Chains A and B, each alone.
Chain A
Amino acid sequence: MAEEVKKPEEVKKPRKPLDPNSAKYKLGKIASDAFATAIEAKKQGRPVAWVSSNFPVEIPETLGLATAYPENQAAGIAARGAGERMCEVAEADGYSNDICAYARISLAYAKLKECPEQDVAMPDVLLCCNNICNCMIKWYENLSIDLGIPMIMLDIPFNPDYEVSDAEVAYVTGQFWDAVHQLEDLFGLKWDDDRFQQVTGFSCRSSRAWLEATAQAKYTPSPFNGFDLLNHMAVMVTARGKEEAGEAMETLLKEYKENHEKGESTFRVEEKHRIMFEGIACWPYLRATSRGLKDRGINMVTTIYADAFGFDYNSFDEMIRAYCSVPNAINLEKSRDKRVKLCKDNNVEGLLVHTNRSCKLWSGFMAEMSRQIGKECNIPVTSFDGDQADPRNFSEAQYDTRVQGLCEIMESNKEAKEA
């Protein structure tokens, strides 16, 4: 339980080039190609859409519209250390530092039109869906005004009920086809039902493999380090409707299954404890937050954030219901039950909550939800302050104390159980 003061210095091995047949290589290539493909499309004069992360990817993919995902771009910019610089550009234009840092970074990019840490193709249209948050609407409206381009809005309001009603499905279905028709009219594109079937097939294939891969954490020890998911999920955000994404996700699943069979894991140290991580990753401090856990043998085996981008369905109706059921669009009880299931399925011993200053919606109800999860699963819960992209909202020392406290409770619980 006590931590030795002098830790052996880590000897860094030179990195081996990645095997092109590995999931890591394939997923990394798809993620980086997503930006390059849109930049190339723009050069060729083809239209590009900026798309919110839980907008039905089936629409642009079926229509052959090139896409870029501002949330994904902002996360990349933040992880590469430019979050503060970009946020300050937006703040100088009058945006409050209380606004989502992804929004600030994106609005700053729309103004500067360059950021070496992660450039994207400039858009011709904006595809916005508020199933992830309502801040998205104002963010995209301002992008629309600043860039002088149309915004197509798919309204999926927060659902206070446990189930998705038929009325909500009808409401969203109407908007789905309206969005398709608007895009057809704007860019002379043509909807093709056969292509739609193909895209939904790809999307479901990617999703099934992804969700099955993340579910491999049911094994103890887990065949993977949960922080891997935070990198791999970029493909689920940006490319889940592409054939190659499904193939890469199946490779990932195969590797995790093989790891389990061989008793191996991408979590390179002994897995002493297993936790669930709650909230969007603290991208500016991904290394610090990861190390704080790994150094104590804590594996973050599951997070709803990763599973949120898996959309598996068998019909159009089920697809609409899936988009109405993403984590930020559902009520506290349903959100809690999904997380409790993850905790129980994956033998979680503790819960670490990122109180993410950017995401009021997500963090706002976590105090009560995490209390209920802790009670239902009989696990300790702690939270730390941070931000998904603004580095000014995190203190490593405070994070460290909370994680160590959580670790000490988990250790003590284990000792009590063994006794």
Chain B
Amino acid sequence: MITLGIDIGSTTSKCVLLKDGQEIIASGLRVGGLGTEGPEEALADLWKLTDLDPSAVTRTIVTGYGRNKYEGADGEVSELTCHALGGRFIFPDLRTLIDIGGQDAKIISLNESGRMSNFVMNDKCAAGTGRFLDVMANILRMDINDLEACAAQSEKPASISSTCTVFAESEVISQLANGVSRPDLVAGICESVASRVSALARRAGVVPRVCMSGGVARNGAVRSALSKSLEVDIDFDPMAQYFGAIGAALYGYRQALKQNS
């Protein structure tokens, strides 16, 4: 059975084709989330990677910020459930998932049997999310993907004390003008995100095994700052950004099985 999971976030669209709830056979990712061509482009990429066509799909589930607006799915599920499912698909003994996406951060607790038991999300503020990193990379005229390597060269991470993204932007500009090195600033920015998110994680309670999902998971500097702050190992998988889409496809598979039984 083939199921399709689509995760339409605030900044990116991801999709995954799953075979029999076990094997990822294709995936697609495009920058551009809700309100853009991102979902269609990501799907077009996905179909190019397989001999299958859309008629092979038994069930399509959509998740993410744009789930309510997407019309081509059989059902929609929150990204919370999907990230929990996707995380557990990759790490079968996962108990805590830290997802940092474009505009929100969430800590999801799973019980021993893998069911989501609780979650904590950030408030409306974008500090501690991917958008915060986007804004900071933009000020520093850097590609977001280069932040990790730059932070690795830091000798003394700068302190970014402002919570507000706009005020933090001014703070970074001011520190740049005062001669603080770019690596120290980038490391400080990553620590600032980790500090916000670890406070949320403590509220939810951190039980190993812990992993990260979402676009920010790719940033090793944030991962290691979080790991240090929470005093726990944090696992990472190259498919971390697809956890929502994997979970949606898996959800569709389980739902189809239930309906057929």
Residues of A within 8 A of B (CB): 1-6, 355, 367, 371, 374, 380-382, 385, 393, 395, 397-398, 400-402, 404-405, 408-409, 412-413, 416
Stretch in B12-20, B65-73, B133-141, B190-198 touching the partner = B65-73
Contact of B145 with A by CB under 8 A: no
Contact of B76 with A by CB under 8 A: yes
A5-B62, A5-B70, A374-B118 as given contacts; A408 in contact with B78, CB under 8 Å: yes
Contact of B169 with A by CB under 8 A: no
Q: Do the beta carbons of B115 and A401 come within 8 Å of each other?
A: no
Q: Which residues of A contact B73 (CB under 8 A)?
A: 5
Q: Do the beta carbons of A408 and B75 come within 8 Å of each other?
A: no
A2-B76, A3-B75 as given contacts; A398 in contact with B124, CB under 8 Å: yes
**Residue of A whose beta carbon sits closest to that of B121:** A402
Q: Do the beta carbons of A4 and B118 come within 8 Å of each other?
A: no
Q: Which residues of B contact A404 (CB under 8 A)?
A: 77-78, 80
A367-B203, A385-B123 as given contacts; A3 in contact with B77, CB under 8 Å: yes
**Residue of A whose beta carbon sits closest to that of B77:** A2
Q: Which residues of B contact A367 (CB under 8 A)?
A: 203
- Complex Cα gap A395–B61 (Å): 24
**Residue of A whose beta carbon sits closest to that of B115:** A412
Q: Do the beta carbons of B203 and A401 come within 8 Å of each other?
A: no
Q: A-facing mask of B51-93, CB < 8 A → 1, else 0?
A: 0000000000110010010110111111111000000000000
> Which single member of B70, B117, B252, B255 contacts A380 (CB below 8 Å)?
B117
The secondary structure that dominates the B interface is mixed
Residues of B within 8 A of A (CB): 61-62, 65, 68, 70-71, 73-81, 104, 113, 115-121, 123-124, 203, 251-252, 255
In the assembled complex, the CB of A302 is this many whole angstroms from the nearest CB of chain B, namely 20
The secondary structure that dominates the A interface is helix
- Complex Cα gap A1–B84 (Å): 15
Q: Do the beta carbons of A405 and B104 come within 8 Å of each other?
A: no
Q: Do the beta carbons of B75 and A4 come within 8 Å of each other?
A: yes
- Complex Cα gap A381–B71 (Å): 30
> Which single member of A355, A381, A401 contacts B123 (CB below 8 Å)?
A355
- Complex Cα gap A374–B118 (Å): 9
A395-B124, A401-B78, A412-B115 as given contacts; A2 in contact with B61, CB under 8 Å: yes
- Complex Cα gap A382–B116 (Å): 13
Told that A3-B77, A409-B118, A412-B116 touch, could you supply 15 new A-B pairs with CB distance under 8 A?
Answer: A1-B77, A2-B252, A3-B75, A4-B74, A6-B71, A380-B117, A380-B118, A381-B118, A382-B118, A382-B119, A401-B79, A401-B80, A404-B78, A405-B81, A408-B78
Q: Which residues of B contact A374 (CB under 8 A)?
A: 118
Q: Which residues of A contact B255 (CB under 8 A)?
A: 1-2
In the assembled complex, the CB of B43 is this many whole angstroms from the nearest CB of chain A, namely 16
In the assembled complex, the CB of B107 is this many whole angstroms from the nearest CB of chain A, namely 12
Q: Which residues of B contact A400 (CB under 8 A)?
A: 68
Q: Do the beta carbons of B251 and A2 come within 8 Å of each other?
A: yes
Q: Do the beta carbons of A5 and B81 come within 8 Å of each other?
A: no
Q: Which residues of A contact B80 (CB under 8 A)?
A: 401, 404-405, 408
Q: Which residues of B contact A397 (CB under 8 A)?
A: 65
**Residue of B whose beta carbon sits closest to that of A398:** B124
**Residue of A whose beta carbon sits closest to that of B73:** A5
